[in-house]
């Protein structure tokens, strides 16, 4: 870090790292206090994390854009009963917590088994020429059953992952780890990360700050405790929010009214062309049509490096979103489409409030298991709240299915990339449905832009890239590139 800072003022070229870094501690502190933090971005640190909750990952590790993670998937790896955070509780709360947890795990295991034949029937409709008794296809079917069954699991379930951040991000972790939704776990995990940092380079101690206390953050004045008053406010809020949603997963709430003309003008600016030579519709076509802009046929996302594609930064769109915790945990991995996600305690109504996968319509038996699991989960959380259990620990029992309500915004460049990935039929079902709704609503307000919000196969067929589907053995079984957006439909 110091070597990069010294290079800025060096007349002798690149300044090498000084093994006696301690003598430059004053310079490091001066740069840090002045806010000149780019020098802290060069060093990156990769952590292997185990036994951290999905709640912690969603609320803290993945709540910002400046990281990279690869974590175990609940969609494709079966969850074992002992892979869960169990806090140390008192006054009978421990028994309630563990009994509720046991019911959730049992519901998950039951759903995996009972959903498997249901999924197999639908899988057979999509792939009529496949032998369903083939072990390879049996594994694919079971994975899809696990994908649905995981909705009943609590957000306390453990994950393991690689997590890579820069030095400045790690310093930010240390400063703001004491916040909602899981402050106890956040403080402990960050403490261990910082210990590893200091073991590698003790000089970071010169700029390390203590965490901002939770009680000094403005959120703490409004959120945190579950009681009758907070639940009443939450019910009023959710009812108001859901009215605006009009039954959708994602509702367009704000957009650039002149998006198409702004986009066209910026294309002409890049190319130095007058309107007479390059009218709006042709300019937009040049920027967005994969048949003309072959950047969009690439597997590698090159848009932020392309002069013409960067014109897509200017149009903006905002959406009210209503997703499950498990779907949003994947949605938030699109780090350049940021959102203002909630403090979960502030949204807790005391009543079952969850997303239900459509495939449950095909089995009354599975639907009964699912609904009973949700009812028992909220009953357990409410009992813990009545017993005075710390809110953060009681909410570890919230199921993956719990409904999250928030606003998400994006520029067109990054939203286009997200839709490319999530309009694919292999995408998680809720995110896929939300993306279909978003693309449809954008088409209504900006049809020239909207016609180019397509899945990977749609871009590749226009750009004449082969194979049309880039997924190989993971091909969804549907020639989506032949369908119009209005024809998109799926069960699995």
pLDDT at 27: 72
Task: Say which DSSP state 145 is in.
Answer: H
User: Which is nearest to 65 in space by CA: 418, 396, 436?
Assistant: 418
Task: Give the H/E segment covering residue 409.
Answer: strand 403-411
Residue 40 has pLDDT above 90, yes or no: no
Summarize pLDDT for 379-399 with one digit per residue, the tens.
999 999 999 999 999 999 999
pLDDT at 38: 84
Q: How large is the greatest C-alpha to C-alpha distance in the chain, in angstroms?
A: 77
Residue 6 has pLDDT above 70, yes or no: no
Spans of all domains in the chain: 2-48+163-221
Stretch 210-223: mean pLDDT: 94
Rg of the chain taking only CA atoms, in angstroms: 25
pLDDT at 19: 61
388: Cα separation from own chain's centroid = 31
The tokens describing 161, both together, are 């992952």
Share of the chain above pLDDT 90, in %: 88
Residue 23 has pLDDT above 60, yes or no: no
Give the pLDDT band (50/70/90) at residue 21: low
Average of per-residue pLDDT values in the chain: 94
Residue 288 has pLDDT above 90, yes or no: yes
pLDDT at 224: 81
Summarize pLDDT for 442-472 with one digit per residue, the tens.
999 999 999 999 999 999 999 999 999 999 9
Please, what is the angle between helix 364-386 and helix 93-126, to 10°?
A: 160
Q: Is the pTM of this model over 0.85?
A: yes
In whole angstroms, how far apart are CA 346 and each of 340, 367, 383?
Answer: 14, 28, 18
Stretch 478-491: mean pLDDT: 96
Residue 9 has pLDDT above 90, yes or no: no
Residue 44 has pLDDT above 90, yes or no: yes
Residue 300 has pLDDT above 70, yes or no: yes
Stretch 26-38: mean pLDDT: 78
d(Cα 41, Cα 164) in Å, to the nearest integer? Answer: 12
pLDDT at 3: 61
The tokens describing 173, both together, are 């972790």
Residue 5 has pLDDT above 70, yes or no: no
Mention every residue, 6+ apart, whose C-beta is less than 8 A from residue 347: 234, 237, 238, 353, 403, 404, 405
Summarize pLDDT for 59-113 with one digit per residue, the tens.
999 999 999 999 999 888 999 999 999 999 998 999 999 999 999 999 999 999 9
Give the pLDDT band (50/70/90) at residue 273: very high
Does residue 198 come out as left (phi exceeding 0), alpha (psi in the -120 to 50 range) or beta? alpha
Backbone φ and ψ of 162, nearest 5°: -95, 135
pLDDT at 20: 60
Stretch 142-171: mean pLDDT: 97
The tokens describing 420, both together, are 């490319």
Q: Describe the chain by its helix, strand, coil percentages, rounded to 5.
A: 55, 10, 35
Mention every residue, 6+ apart, whose C-beta is less than 8 A from residue 68: 163, 164, 165
Lowest mean pLDDT among 33-42, 166-175, 232-241, 403-412: 33-42
Owner of token pair 């009023």: 236
pLDDT at 24: 58
Q: What angle do CA 393, 189, 331 make, to 5 degrees?
A: 75
d(Cα 163, Cα 211) in Å, to the nearest integer? Answer: 21
Task: Say which DSSP state 67 is in.
Answer: -
In whole angstroms, how far apart are CA 179 and each of 55, 140, 212?
Answer: 13, 39, 8
The tokens describing 225, both together, are 């405790």
């Amino acid at each position: 870090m110091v070597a990069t800072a010294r290079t800025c003022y060096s007349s002798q070229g690149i300044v090498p790292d000084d093994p006696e870094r301690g003598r430059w501690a004053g310079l490091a502190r001066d740069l840090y206090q002045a806010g000149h933090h780019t020098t802290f971005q060069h060093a990156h640190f990769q952590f292997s994390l185990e036994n951290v909750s999905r709640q912690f990952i969603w609320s803290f590790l993945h709540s910002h854009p400046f990281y990279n993670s690869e974590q175990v998937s609940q969609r494709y790896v079966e969850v074992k009963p002992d892979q869960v955070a169990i806090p140390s509780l008192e006054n009978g709360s421990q028994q309630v917590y563990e009994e509720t947890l046991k019911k959730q795990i049992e519901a998950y295991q039951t759903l995996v088994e009972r959903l498997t034949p249901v999924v197999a029937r639908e899988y057979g409709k999509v792939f009529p020429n496949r032998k369903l008794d083939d072990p390879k296809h049996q594994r694919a079917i079971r994975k899809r059953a696990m994908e649905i069954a995981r909705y009943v699991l609590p957000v306390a379930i453990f994950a393991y992952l690689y997590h890579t951040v820069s030095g400045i991000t790690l310093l930010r972790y240390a400063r703001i780890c004491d916040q909602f939704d899981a402050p106890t776990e956040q403080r402990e995990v960050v403490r261990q990360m910082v210990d590893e940092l200091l073991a590698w380079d003790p000089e970071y101690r010169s700029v390390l700050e203590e965490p901002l206390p939770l009680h000094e953050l403005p959120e703490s004045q409004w959120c945190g405790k579950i009681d009758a008053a907070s639940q009443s406010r939450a019910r009023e809020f959710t009812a108001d929010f859901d009215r605006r949603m009009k039954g959708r997963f994602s509702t367009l709430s704000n957009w650039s009214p002149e998006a198409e003309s702004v986009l066209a003008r910026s294309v002409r600016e890049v190319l130095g062309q007058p309107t007479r030579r390059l009218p709006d519709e042709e300019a937009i076509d040049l920027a967005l049509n994969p048949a003309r802009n072959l950047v969009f046929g690439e597997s590698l996302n090159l848009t932020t490096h392309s002069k013409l594609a960067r014109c897509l930064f200017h149009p903006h769109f905002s959406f009210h979103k209503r997703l499950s915790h498990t779907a949003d945990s994947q949605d938030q991995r699109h780090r350049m489409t940021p959102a203002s996600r909630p403090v979960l305690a502030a949204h807790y109504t005391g009543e079952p409030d969850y997303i239900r996968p459509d495939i449950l319509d095909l089995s009354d038996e599975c639907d009964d298991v699912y609904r009973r699991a949700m009812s028992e989960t909220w009953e357990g959380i409410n009992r813990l709240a009545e017993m005075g259990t710390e809110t953060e620990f009681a909410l570890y029992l919230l199921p993956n299915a719990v409904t999250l309500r928030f606003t998400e915004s994006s520029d067109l460049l990054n939203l286009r990339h997200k839709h490319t990935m999530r309009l694919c039929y292999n995408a998680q079902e809720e995110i896929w449905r939300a993306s279909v709704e978003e693309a449809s609503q954008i088409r209504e307000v900006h049809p020239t832009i909207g016609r180019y919000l397509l899945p990977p196969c749609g871009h590749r067929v226009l750009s004449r890239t082969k194979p049309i589907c880039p997924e190989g053995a993971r091909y969804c079984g549907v020639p989506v590139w032949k369908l119009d957006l209005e024809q998109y439909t799926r069960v699995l």
